[in-house]
Amino acid sequence: MNPLHYEATECTPYINLDKDNNIFEIRGVSKPSNVFEFYDPVLNWLDEYMDSPNPKTMLSIRLEYINSASAKVINFIIKKLERAIKKGKESVVLWHYSVHEPDMKELGENYSIMYNIPFEFKSYE
């Protein structure tokens, strides 16, 4: 399975999804003009990955800013991780948030309540 890699822009996050190296990372700013067009390849990649996930999938999310449309798609991304758990694999979300942005911590906490996936919260300055 080929990795999926996007460099960050002013409006879109850095994304690195690499099954072979067990790297699953989204970080930066997420406010693309067309959120579904931007994230559709990510969702498709995850669908293919979930057909045969690694024994452990740790998705690291470190978003400095996220608009409401992107928040919905991040919701879909986290939901996909439940498929690995249903297959007896381990999934974890590592949610990074700035100590100066309590709304980002709250967003991660809301996601953690919605899904049967362990979350680890890490603050940064």
Assign 115 a pLDDT band (cuts: 50, 70, 90).
very high
The whole-number pLDDT of residue 112 equals 96
Please report, as a single letter, which amino acid is at residue 14.
Y
Rounded to the nearest angstrom, the gap between the alpha carbon of residue 107 and the centroid of all alpha carbons in its chain is: 13
Closest among 114, 111, 48, 58 to 89, alpha carbons compared: 58
Q: Which pTM was predicted?
A: 0.95
**47 exposed, middle or buried (CB, 10 Å; 0-12, 13-18, 19+)?**
exposed
Domains and CATH numbers, the chain: 4-124 (3.30.750)
pLDDT at 47: 97
Q: Which residues pair with 60 in a beta bridge?
A: 25, 94
Sign of the CA dihedral 108, 13, 96, 102? negative
